[in-house]
Structure 1
Amino acid sequence: MLSNVPGMPRSARAPITGPAAATVFTTVLTEGPVSRVDVARRTGLSSAAVTKAARPFIEAGYLEELASGGRTAPGAGRPANPLAIRPDREYFVGVKITGDDLIGVVTDLRADVRASARHALTGHDVGHVVRALADLAGELLSDPGVRDRAFCVGVAVSGDVDRVSGVVRYSPFLGWRDVPLAELLQDATGLTTTLENDVKALAVAEKWFGEGVGASTFALVTVGAGIGSALVVDGRVLRGAYGVAGEIGHVPVAEGPACSCGGQGCVEAIASGEAILTRARQVTGEPALSMADAVTRARGGDEPLREVFAAAGHAIGLGLAALVNLFGPERVVVSGEGVATYDLFEEQIRRTFEVHAFGSAARCRLAVRPLPFEEWARGAAAVAIQGLFAADRG
């Protein structure tokens, strides 16, 4: 346990007490420096409401007023001092759990990474993972200047995650069911722990600090060990009644192989890294074929292997078209470790998407954004930052 991480009274933490405070703080965080007048214009709040909401943040050191340079707000008789985030007021730990590693970062309030580290996982036993994550957090917080201002950790894990209860309901890659991970980690680290599905966590970071900035609606789709997706509607990650809204990886698109979810012919069963490699070994008759060799040979013109990647691209294109037809986002961000081989199925993805996207939905922009796992950990930290807005924040 990080026994040297001190607690801090609620009065010394970010004083977010209601929707107006959250709106003002988020606006300055993602769009600042910005004047009170501009915050009011962008949010629809009155100038008085903005001033009232901002004052406690300034007093607690989360916001600061910058010199105006003598500018005045339109129609106002005094300088319009822009509000800005003080990024080093608080630090946040973010951890991405994979089947093989823990990838951790420390970020400031703007989710800029200040430190990063990796620890190998030698097993998936819950106790082992909790101990390894506590050790990783201790390493990341070795600097006393950072440790004394770090109170929260965000953890991103694949699968069905209940953020409210902090329970991993099902993670196929870890073999977990109904694991109260947030509680276990909070006991082990002494840090307030927020648990989130890894793709949703990445979507939070993209919404605030990446490709989603300025878009009221967008979707994030990840291609790799699985096919993940997250939807952002009116600036909020859409969870649905059961927390799994937008899971196109488990949309059946063909009469195909069995999926880890129990279904058949799902996008993930055809287009995940494991599914592609399994099919590549079948068509070549080489049970020891590696993904690296399959990629190299496909790029070299091996037609049967190229068809395997094209089939994966077709399945992804069908999933994207279904997502866009139902949801209508302004843009779709395609990311994940599988994007490194995007050249092998990009053409098929786009062709299938254009054929099956309904009407003007085909104009939705597909943006490819390769991201290392450190960015996923940054997404977990962004979820911890988002915890500043929780009404029951400790």
Structure 2
Amino acid sequence: MLLNRAKLLASPAANSVFTTVLTRGPVVRPEIARITGLSSAAVTKAVKPMIEAGYLEELPQGPRIVEGAGRPAHPLAVRADREFFVGIKATADELIGVVTDLRAQVRAAHRIPVTDRSAAQVVRDIAALVAELTPVHAERTHHIGVSVSGDVDRRGGVVRYSPFLGWRDVPLAELVAAATGLTVTVENDVKALTVAEQWFGEGVGADSFALATVGVGIGCALVVNGRLVAGGYGVAGEIGHIPVAAGNGPECHCGARGCVESIASEEAIVARARHAAGDPDLDMAGAIDRAHGGDAAVRAVFDEAGEAIGLGLAAMVNLVGPERVVVSGEGLAAYDLFEEQIRAAFTTQAFGAAARCPLIVRPLPWEEWARGAAAVSIQSLFAA
């Protein structure tokens, strides 16, 4: 099966055709040719063996669309159940797992707590979660994507730095492969979520877009010219570490001062809200309640966080120029408290027409992040 797939998708044309059907399907051959820039003959040549191998199918239902000189054309679609993929999102407190089909549709989901953040124990827990998720789909499940926060070397399968797990230079792909017997792809969690949005969500059809996340950390990933941008060192898009209050700004866990994350992450907001309220036991929910209840000092903490996020987004849009920015993350529970400041700072700091870039707020549960890890696994197989 793997050899057949490798042969099927060996050429850039075949990869381009399959990815187009995967992300745009059902779609007819003339539309595939238009999107990919390939000739009709090249599309037909690529499609035929994929149908024979069971990766694509012609849909019989519905009215047939006339192609060219009267030839009927059926829409092509991916056979979603041809293969299944595991996706795991690792947080400091939980492992969230899903099984998806080839179209990244979730077929099963399960969570287990993280009781020990050591790499060895987390890997054992991942293996246990995989066993819990895959009994029904085991025969057609050969691949797993794992996403974690921080600096991840996807090509090498190494987590170079994950602040919330306390990891440095963990060869996670190698460890998970040994524990599960599956082929492993490891990626930064925000980049993985962005892949899912690029192929199956808000990014479908966009040549460029950005996804920013607000919560435990401040993350961002970029798609430019239809490709996820890793950068020369694998950390492109890290708006959380753009300095917006350098010099006298608060110290960030990265060692710098005045980063967006040092002002607007959940930990930073809680620490500053505790100081403002004089309550050392205040948590995020309590801070939100106080701000909603009219506590001006705590509300000012959220105002400053919103301004920092807006400045970071504006800097990114000025540099990269995405068509749209999707804003997500667990911090959206407090979004109403800093949305006005985000948009005001963004509009003020974005240069010229860049201020028209839409900010699309899209709440996504943790299972969607795990789906992103599965999407990365799918992408690693089928993207050129």
**TM-based fold match above 0.5:** yes
Q: Secondary structure at the match of 1:348?
A: helix
Counterpart in 2 of 1:22?
15
C-alpha separation between the residues in 2 aligned to 1:111 and 1:68?
23
Counterpart in 2 of 1:344?
337
Counterpart in 1 of 2:189?
198
Counterpart in 1 of 2:234?
243
Counterpart in 1 of 2:377?
384
Q: Secondary structure at the match of 1:288?
A: coil
1:91 is aligned to 2:95: no
Q: Secondary structure at the match of 2:370?
A: helix
1:101 is aligned to 2:87: no
Decide whether aligned partners of structure 1 residues 72 and 211 sit closer, same or farther in structure 2, where only a CA change above 3 A counts. closer
Runs of 4+ in structure 1 over 6 Å off: none
Decide whether aligned partners of structure 1 residues 9 and 241 sit closer, same or farther in structure 2, where only a CA change above 3 A counts. closer
Counterpart in 1 of 2:278?
285
1:43 is aligned to 2:36: yes
Kept in 2, the 8 Å contact 1:171–1:177? The answer is yes
Q: 156, 179, 184: which one pairs with 2:175?
A: 184
1:246 partner letter: G
C-alpha separation between the residues in 2 aligned to 1:189 and 1:352?
47
Decide whether aligned partners of structure 1 residues 174 and 70 sit closer, same or farther in structure 2, where only a CA change above 3 A counts. closer
Kept in 2, the 8 Å contact 1:218–1:233? The answer is yes
1:225 is aligned to 2:189: no
1:147 is aligned to 2:157: no
1:355 is aligned to 2:343: no
Give me the TM-score of the superposition, normalised by structure 2: 0.97
Decide whether aligned partners of structure 1 residues 51 and 175 sit closer, same or farther in structure 2, where only a CA change above 3 A counts. same
Per-residue deviation at 1:229? 0.3
Per-residue deviation at 1:215? 1.3
Kept in 2, the 8 Å contact 1:70–1:79? The answer is no
Per-residue deviation at 1:74? 4.0
State how 1:131-142 maps to structure 2 within 5 Å: 131-142=124-135
Provide Cα deviations, 1:345-375, integer angstroms capped at 9, x if missing partner: 0000001111111001000000001111100
Decide whether aligned partners of structure 1 residues 280 and 21 sit closer, same or farther in structure 2, where only a CA change above 3 A counts. same
Q: Secondary structure at the match of 1:79?
A: strand
C-alpha separation between the residues in 2 aligned to 1:17 and 1:364?
37
Per-residue deviation at 1:14? 7.8
Provide Cα deviations, 1:142-168, integer angstroms capped at 9, x if missing partner: 21xx11111100001000001001000
Kept in 2, the 8 Å contact 1:253–1:318? The answer is yes
Per-residue deviation at 1:77? 3.6
Kept in 1, the 8 Å contact 2:324–2:358? The answer is yes
Q: Secondary structure at the match of 1:333?
A: strand
Decide whether aligned partners of structure 1 residues 69 and 350 sit closer, same or farther in structure 2, where only a CA change above 3 A counts. closer
Counterpart in 2 of 1:372?
365
Kept in 2, the 8 Å contact 1:68–1:82? The answer is no
1:41 partner letter: R
Per-residue deviation at 1:72? 4.9
Decide whether aligned partners of structure 1 residues 9 and 349 sit closer, same or farther in structure 2, where only a CA change above 3 A counts. closer
Q: How many residues align?
A: 382
Q: Secondary structure at the match of 1:148?
A: helix
Give me the TM-score of the superposition, normalised by structure 1: 0.94
1:122 is aligned to 2:102: no
Per-residue deviation at 1:270? 0.4
Provide Cα deviations, 1:97-146, integer angstroms capped at 9, x if missing partner: 00001000001111111100001111111110000000000100021xx1
Counterpart in 1 of 2:322?
329
C-alpha separation between the residues in 1 aligned to 2:151 and 2:317?
22
Kept in 1, the 8 Å contact 2:16–2:383? The answer is no
Q: Secondary structure at the match of 1:115?
A: strand
2:339 partner letter: E
Counterpart in 1 of 2:296?
303
C-alpha separation between the residues in 2 aligned to 1:385 and 1:84?
16
1:366 partner letter: L
Q: Secondary structure at the match of 1:119?
A: strand
RMSD: 1.4
Counterpart in 2 of 1:4?
none
C-alpha separation between the residues in 1 aligned to 2:318 and 2:342?
15
Per-residue deviation at 1:214? 2.0
2:308 partner letter: A
C-alpha separation between the residues in 2 aligned to 1:197 and 1:237?
12
Residue ranges of structure 2 left out of the alignment (5+ in a row)? none
1:252 is aligned to 2:247: no
Decide whether aligned partners of structure 1 residues 20 and 372 sit closer, same or farther in structure 2, where only a CA change above 3 A counts. same
Decide whether aligned partners of structure 1 residues 283 and 187 sit closer, same or farther in structure 2, where only a CA change above 3 A counts. same
Counterpart in 2 of 1:5?
none
Per-residue deviation at 1:78? 2.0
Q: Secondary structure at the match of 2:8?
A: coil
C-alpha separation between the residues in 2 aligned to 1:382 and 1:9?
18
1:174 partner letter: L
Residue ranges of structure 1 left out of the alignment (5+ in a row)? 1-7
1:173 is aligned to 2:182: no
2:257 partner letter: Q
Counterpart in 1 of 2:27?
34
